[in-house]
Structure 1
Amino acid sequence: MSTSTARAVRAGRRTVDIHRPDKVLFPGDGITKADLADYYRSVAPFMLPHLRGRPLMLERLPDGIDGPRFMQKDTPAGYPDWVHRAEVPKEGGTVTHTVCDDTATLVHLAVQACVTLHRWQSRTRRLEAPDRMVFDLDPPPSGGTAEDDFAPVRRAARLLGELLDALRLPSALMTTGSKGLHVIVPLDGHSDFDEVRAFAQDVAATLAAAHPDHLTTAPRKQSRGDRLYLDVQRNGYAQTAVAPYSVRARPGAPVATPLRWDQLDDPATHARRWTVATVLEQARSDPWNGAATRPRALGPARRRLDALR
């Protein structure tokens, strides 16, 4: 089939051209560039609230998942002028990140083979003030079945959710689309990155101390054994986490998908359950039910945590 033609699609108020729409990006699944663009256009109403105003790091795979991939921070000069940008300080200079504020930008990124979008924990108007705290839970090495590997992740998420409830912090649960889960806490944006990361470290340390046979905060793999690592490193300045409803560059086109907490107890729930072909029904059900939009201040939670330690 020829891949030299272009296809124009309507995306919000704009029309975006998909060049080489039949180029296959997921060979084992037959998913083309046009399919990826159609997916992101369809999921835009659910995904954009989690992207707007945030600098992005983009995972690009111009030749599909079997080809080379690279992480793009700086916005190419050839991007349309209607794509929003944010000039962000870095050591020794600045970098101009892409900001995805509308459906047309989301589709344009898909056309550029940006398969996965990773977002900052803060927004451009207050770069130093994160409004998200993220706990990253990946399975420890076991060599068992996928369900066996995922069981420790499910257990850790449940324990973490209970602790956050005790601290009166709302939390939202999401598959990463890879191997594990993210637990996300919305914040009011009045604490800086150092404060948020220190608090996340203390939450993780408290939980690991209560369950030392199963959980650890040891950064060195050699020190973890078969315990699950409670990773809070995504809470630093310029660190990113996969955005909700992002496609992962893996066979099957799994999607990072928000879950209801009661879905954690479903034995069928695992990291690859929702894909490009199935995620929209889950998205339409609003699995977070607003949980990711009810921010809290860290001060009262810090006092409650200190009382528990």
Structure 2
Amino acid sequence: MTPITEVEGRRLPLSNLDKVLYPATGTTKGEVLHYYATTAGSLLAHLYGRPVSFLRYPDGPGGQRFFTKNPPPGTPAWVRTAEVPRSAHAVARQVLVQDLASLMWAANLVVEFHTPQWQADEPARADRLVLDLDPGAPATVVECCAVALWLRDRLAADGLHAYAKTSGSKGLHLLVPLRPTPSEDVSAYAKGLAVEAEAALPGLVVHKMARALRPGKVFVDHGQNAAAKTTAAPYTLRARAEPTVSTPVTWAEVEECGSPARLVFRLGDIAARLARYGDLMGPLINLNRAGRLPRA
């Protein structure tokens, strides 16, 4: 029998709580739901107002994985959705995770949370820029940190403030709060940064996706600024072998990273980090440091 839990007045069936989702650590679905419940204050702030896409992995990271932007079958009527453009001539609806009940409903489906760089009420007008630093073996997150520091200083020269988080996989994400700006302009600026980074650090950076170019280097992926693209949200769990989390980090941690293990955080690490640092991505929400792109 599926237990029913009441969350903020909503009755939720939470299923298979003893099911092991991460065999490498023995982490159960119940522990995953507990993580999301206790991290909700920070995670919800980054999901609020943004159409959410889900990478679902109901049988754990070793099972079937599928990406969906449409509301899943059986989505409760009380879960908010928004109409968003899918192309020049088509619109569709996507879920908005606005509250704890919606978050726990989604977490029960076993998902990664992904969002675009814009909010539902202003489609394709980005309020942040993202650069995904993806290392090609044998490069690791250590090399990503070196690239991140260069990019931080280059962005600062344009009056922009960058914040870093682990991807929860192999690399780093840099996010920059912006005053709402057309996504196509942000994409063009981000590509220019990636090209500059490759010119400044030719032995370390590539700006093109081609696999043949990437061994031992860091791909500065600027493409996630396109209006149709999404990025893993801060504090989302990832469908990796272990329950790693896309975790905001301090610039001191980036500067001092001499080993990949230094920037691996699992669901059990996050509560203590939030207690120590608060939400290091907070400036992306209150936009008190939102910048303007320089004129072309």
TM-score w.r.t. structure 1 length?
0.87
- Aligned match for 2:288, one of 275, 294, 303: 294
CA distance in 1, matches of 2:25, 2:6: 25
CA distance in 2, matches of 1:259, 1:12: 31
Deviation of the 1:269 alpha carbon:
6.2
CA distance in 1, matches of 2:260, 2:97: 29
Pairing of 1:116-155 with structure 2 (within 5 A): 116-142=112-138, 149-155=140-146
Task: Provide the residue aligned with 1:278 in structure 2.
Answer: 269
CA distance in 2, matches of 1:94, 1:270: 43
Secondary structure of the corresponding residue to residue 119 of structure 2: coil
Task: Provide the residue aligned with 1:181 in structure 2.
Answer: 172
Structure 1 residues 193, 270: CA separation in 2 closer, same or farther (over 3 Å shift)?
Answer: farther
Q: Aligned partner of 2:208: which letter?
A: A
Structure 2 residues without counterparts, runs of 5 or longer: none
CA distance in 2, matches of 1:231, 1:289: 20
Structure 1 residues 264, 13: CA separation in 2 closer, same or farther (over 3 Å shift)?
Answer: farther
Secondary structure of the corresponding residue to residue 25 of structure 2: coil
1:49 paired with 2:39, answer no
1:21 paired with 2:17, answer yes
Pairing of 1:1-309 with structure 2 (within 5 A): 5-91=1-87, 93-114=90-111, 116-142=112-138, 149-189=140-180, 191-224=181-214, 226-267=216-257, 270=261, 273-284=264-275, 285-288=277-280, 290-292=282-284, 293-298=287-292, 301-303=293-295
Deviation of the 1:192 alpha carbon:
0.7
Structure 1 residues 166, 266: CA separation in 2 closer, same or farther (over 3 Å shift)?
Answer: same
Greater mean deviation of Cα atoms: 262-271 or 252-261? 262-271
Q: Percent identity among equivalent residues?
A: 30
Greater mean deviation of Cα atoms: 168-177 or 88-97? 88-97
CA distance in 2, matches of 1:276, 1:226: 29
CA distance in 1, matches of 2:183, 2:103: 27
Secondary structure of the corresponding residue to residue 161 of structure 2: coil
Deviation of the 1:224 alpha carbon:
4.1
Q: Aligned partner of 1:130: which letter?
A: A
Deviation of the 1:176 alpha carbon:
0.5
Contact 2:237–2:267 under 8 Å retained in 1: yes
Runs of 4+ in 1 over 6 A off after TM superposition: none
Deviation of the 1:297 alpha carbon:
4.0
Contact 1:260–1:287 under 8 Å retained in 2: no
| Cα deviation 1:206-263 (Å, max 9, x = unaligned) | 2221222221212322234533211101000120000000001112200000011111
Q: Aligned partner of 2:278: which letter?
A: D
Contact 2:205–2:219 under 8 Å retained in 1: yes
TM-score w.r.t. structure 2 length?
0.91
Secondary structure of the corresponding residue to residue 173 of structure 1: strand
CA distance in 1, matches of 2:64, 2:196: 40
Contact 2:177–2:291 under 8 Å retained in 1: no
Secondary structure of the corresponding residue to residue 227 of structure 2: coil
Deviation of the 1:160 alpha carbon:
0.7
Greater mean deviation of Cα atoms: 132-141 or 14-23? 14-23
Q: Aligned partner of 2:19: which letter?
A: K
Q: Aligned partner of 2:247: which letter?
A: T
CA distance in 1, matches of 2:176, 2:269: 26
Q: Aligned partner of 2:113: which letter?
A: L
Q: How many residues align?
A: 291
